[in-house]
């Protein structure tokens, strides 16, 4: 059975020792994030994910969504789950307190939402849409629009979606044709069609707030002429009550490879006279506001990669421990988890998931520092790091998550190819994560062109300096604890950073003279950056684990260790104690990472340096 339980030990360890919950709780307006409350929230979220969302995941996949006239019907159980989700206060966890949310920091948001995505990605895409849209309205909307809409969105009475894509305007938003015309009352009328709109229509909430990109007839060409409009499904009276149905409807649903429980709609605006919309912010600044939503969405999708990989890994581990086949160490009748190659696959999956989680949780903390830290230099550096690594978080995590889901099917063998077992759903659901909110190629070009070349690699070199400082700390820990393995990790990571700098120098040298080569190198460079940054976080985890083990041994003494078994190692201030066996497991994951994945950095760096061959290859080579 495809059950789910949150990996609470890993979550707590990373929050304590890589994020630093005590540091988050010390930030202004983040005081509520003290560890005991955080752990309590995580435990309750685990119960909700396992008890409410996970049980309807497979049935939602099998049933899917359907269009009944102009009504979108979602799977059975969705309404009850939404009502419970809202009633329990989960929707408002990180939303603004002034509009009814709890305003908790993003460092807590990350593990909780990872659980939702693991348990039921198709369902959780609906509340996820609220996060980015709420932030965009906070940034751009006027006070009257905020007062009318945000309390009802935050409460879960109304939901949101992001209506950007058109048939001719996918990644190229400059091609948006949705037309907006000014009305005499200060509102606008919108005409056109949007495609691939997640939860574009449904009846789970009383109203739906569409945030729509459109352009006025006299607007400048390209992205400089695009504006953002709020288009409610039902028009809203001044007192917040609902009026008549607006001229916006779902006209078809996509038949997709995965996430069947999430309706992906083609939306028609203005077929019956014009959809009433309201300008958000200023005219012709829609792309700017869109990126507020997009960055929030991309961060969420980075968690999709972790979450689906975790769900697939749990299934594969359970199956491998139940399935007997062949002989293990010459003995028949034992679970396949004991086969060396199956064990390797399981260890590879667990290590990759740990690395992804260790990469994305501290990134969530950067958001909190950027927004709340009292020292402007610290806040500004956090914003720079977010901007630099957002494409890496989104693309590397989803690419890696897809690999883990693929490995899970391999562990199942032939039964992995059979829908009855359920493992294929996570593979199918996960495939889109490499596509939506910007494909891996788009993320890579963003990283190289807008982040590396535009500022001549300044922020990346700043980040590299931080990584090298942690390498020195790891080497020092290796000397103090006399642990040769940690010293090897430090040397390997230092070599990885050298390769990253070498590849960066190549991009900078060719950026102004050979843009085609730079673009051909972009995806390998992104993978290289993801591996180095993930390795950095894995090294931090290894140092923390070894530090706890060393401190525990020193305090307990050899006699106590001999008589009481594995001692508990104290966590961070206010955190939970970790048992020695778990800490040794973290060290084992680090050893596997640096033996298995760190060597891939050199290959990606060499590929970057050889990228000119893409441009030199004749077109005929593609069609021979």
| Tens of pLDDT, residues 335-374 | 999 999 999 999 999 999 999 999 999 999 999 999 999 9
Q: How far apart are CA 611 and CA 624, in angstroms?
A: 21
Contacts of 566 (CB under 8 A, 6+ apart): 579, 580, 581
What b/e sequence results for 410-435 when a residue is b if at least 16 CB atoms lie within 10 Å of its CB, and e otherwise? ebbeeebeeeebbbbbbbbbbbbbbe
Number of neighbours of residue 579 by Cβ within 10 angstroms: 15
What is the rounded CA–CA span in Å between residue 321 and residue 334? Answer: 9
Got the DSSP string for 337-348? GGSHHHHHHHHH
Return d(Cα 576, Cα 62) in angstroms, integer.
40
Asked if 243 and 195 count as a contact pair (C-beta separation under 8 A), the reply is: no
Question: What gap in Å lies between CA 226 and CA 286, rounded to an integer?
Answer: 5
**For residues 209 and 156, is the Cβ–Cβ distance under 8 A?**
no
pTM of the model: 0.94
pLDDT at residue 1 in the model = 60
Q: Write out pLDDT tens, residues 609-619.
A: 999 888 767 77
558 band by pLDDT with thresholds 50, 70 and 90:
low
User: Alpha-carbon Rg of the chain, whole angstroms?
Assistant: 25
Residue 19 token pair: 């994020």
Say what the pLDDT of residue 562 is.
Answer: 46
Looking at residue 614, its pLDDT comes to 80
pLDDT of residue 617: 72
Q: Give the model's pLDDT for residue 568.
A: 54
Is residue 567 scored above 60 in pLDDT?
no
- Tens digit of pLDDT for each residue in 195-224? 999 999 999 999 999 999 999 999 999 999
Report the pLDDT averaged over residues 218-243. 96
How far is residue 422's CA from residue 189's CA, in Å, rounded to a whole number? 45
d(CA 447, CA 463): 14
Do residues 259 and 233 make contact, with C-beta atoms less than 8 angstroms apart? Answer: no
495: how many CB neighbours lie within 10 A of its CB? 14
Q: Does the pLDDT at position 597 exceed 70?
A: yes
Q: Are 546 and 483 in contact (CB under 8 A)?
A: yes
Mean predicted confidence (pLDDT) in 378-400: 97
Secondary structure of residue 239 in the 3-state scheme: coil
Confidence check: pLDDT of 443 > 70: yes
pLDDT of 557 reads: 66
Confidence tier at 570 by pLDDT (50, 70, 90)? low
From 98, 437, 559, 578, the catalytic residue: 437
* 283 touches 275 (CB < 8 A): no
Distance separating alpha carbons of residues 485 and 475, to the nearest angstrom: 10
CB 464: neighbour CB atoms within 10 A?
18
Cα 511 to Cα 308, 520, 551, 614: the distances in Å are 36, 12, 49, 16
**Tokens in use for 403?**
């690999």
User: 460 pLDDT exceeds 80?
Assistant: yes
What is the CB neighbour count within 10 angstroms for residue 179? Answer: 18
pLDDT in tens, 22-69: 999 999 999 888 888 999 999 999 999 999 999 999 999 999 999 999
How confident is the model over 117-158, as pLDDT tens digits? 999 999 999 999 988 899 999 999 999 999 999 999 999 999
The chain-wide mean pLDDT, for the chain, equals 93
Hunting for tokens 């706890």 — which residue is that?
548
Q: Which residue has the tokens 């005499």?
A: 184
**What is the pLDDT at residue 574?**
41
Is 80 marked active-site?
no
Nearest C-alpha neighbor of 326 from the set 316, 317, 339, 315: 339
- The answer to whether 181 touches 189, Cβ cutoff 8 Å, is yes
Sequence-distant (6+) residues with CB within 8 A of 540 are: 17, 18, 358, 470, 474
pLDDT band of 561, cuts 50, 70, 90: very low
- Which 8-state DSSP code applies to residue 324? B
Contact 409, 416 (CB under 8 A): yes
Tokens linked to 337: 């988890």
């Amino acid at each position: 059975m495809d059950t789910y339980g949150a990996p609470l030990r890993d979550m707590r360890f990373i929050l304590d020792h890589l994020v630093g919950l005590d540091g988050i709780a010390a930030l202004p307006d983040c005081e509520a994030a003290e560890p005991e409350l955080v752990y309590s929230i995580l435990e309750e979220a685990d119960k909700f994910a396992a008890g409410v969302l996970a049980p309807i995941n497979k049935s939602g996949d099998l049933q899917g969504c359907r269009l009944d006239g102009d009504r979108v019907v979602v799977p059975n159980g969705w309404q009850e789950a939404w009502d419970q989700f809202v009633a329990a206060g989960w929707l408002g966890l990180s939303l603004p307190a002034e509009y009814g949310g709890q305003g908790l920091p993003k460092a807590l948001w990350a593990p909780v939402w990872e659980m939702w995505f693991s348990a039921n990605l198709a369902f959780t895409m609906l509340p996820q849409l609220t996060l980015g849209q709420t932030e965009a309205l906070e940034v751009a909307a006027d006070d009257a629009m905020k007062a009318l809409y945000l309390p009802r969105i935050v409460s879960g009475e109304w939901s949101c979606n992001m209506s950007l894509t058109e048939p001719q305007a996918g990644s190229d938003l400059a091609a948006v044709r949705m037309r907006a015309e000014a009305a005499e009352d200060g509102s606008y009328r919108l005409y056109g069609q949007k495609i691939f709109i997640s939860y574009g229509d449904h009846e789970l909430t009383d109203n739906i707030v569409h945030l729509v990109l459109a352009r006025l007839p006299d607007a400048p060409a390209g992205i400089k002429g695009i504006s953002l409009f709020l288009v409610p499904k039902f028009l809203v009276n001044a007192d917040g009550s609902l009026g008549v149905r607006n001229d916006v409807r779902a006209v078809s649903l996509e038949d997709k490879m995965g996430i069947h429980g999430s309706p992906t709609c083609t939306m028609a605006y203005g077929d019956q006279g014009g959809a009433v919309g309201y300008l958000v912010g200023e005219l012709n600044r829609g792309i700017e506001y869109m990126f507020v939503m997009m960055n929030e969405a991309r961060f969420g999708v980075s968690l999709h990669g972790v979450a689906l990989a975790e769900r697939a890994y749990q299934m594969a581990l359970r199956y491998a421990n139940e399935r007997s086949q062949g002989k293990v160490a010459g003995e028949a009748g034992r679970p396949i988890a004991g086969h060396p190659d199956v064990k390797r696959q399981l260890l590879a999956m667990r290590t990759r998931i740990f690395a992804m989680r260790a990469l994305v949780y501290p990134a969530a903390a950067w958001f909190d520092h950027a927004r709340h830290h009292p020292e402007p230099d610290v806040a500004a550096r956090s914003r720079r790091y977010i901007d630099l690594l957002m494409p890496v978080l989104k693309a590397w995590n989803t690419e890696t998550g897809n690999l883990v889901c693929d490995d899970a099917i391999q562990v199942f063998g032939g039964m992995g190819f059979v829908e009855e077992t359920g493992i294929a759903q996570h593979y199918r659901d996960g495939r889109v994560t490499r596509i939506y909110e910007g494909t891996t190629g788009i993320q890579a070009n963003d990283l190289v062109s807008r982040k590396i070349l535009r500022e001549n690699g300044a922020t990346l070199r700043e980040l590299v300096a931080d990584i090298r400082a942690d390498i020195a700390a790891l080497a020092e820990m290796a000397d103090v604890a006399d642990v040769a393995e940690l010293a090897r990790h430090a040397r390997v990571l230092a070599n990885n950073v050298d390769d990253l700098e070498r590849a960066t120098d190549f991009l900078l040298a060719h950026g102004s003279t050979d843009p085609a080569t730079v673009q051909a190198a972009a995806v390998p460079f992104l993978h290289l950056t993801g591996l180095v940054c993930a390795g950095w976080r894995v090294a931090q985890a290894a140092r923390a684990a070894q530090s706890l083990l060393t401190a525990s041994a020193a305090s307990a003494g050899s006699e106590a260790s001999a008589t009481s078994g594995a001692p508990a190692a104290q966590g961070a201030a206010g955190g939970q104690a970790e048992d020695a066996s778990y800490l040794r497991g973290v060290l084992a994951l680090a050893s596997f990472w640096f033996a298995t994945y760190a060597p891939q950095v050199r290959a990606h760096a060499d590929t970057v340096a050889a990228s000119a061959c893409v441009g030199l290859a004749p077109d005929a080579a593609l069609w021979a």
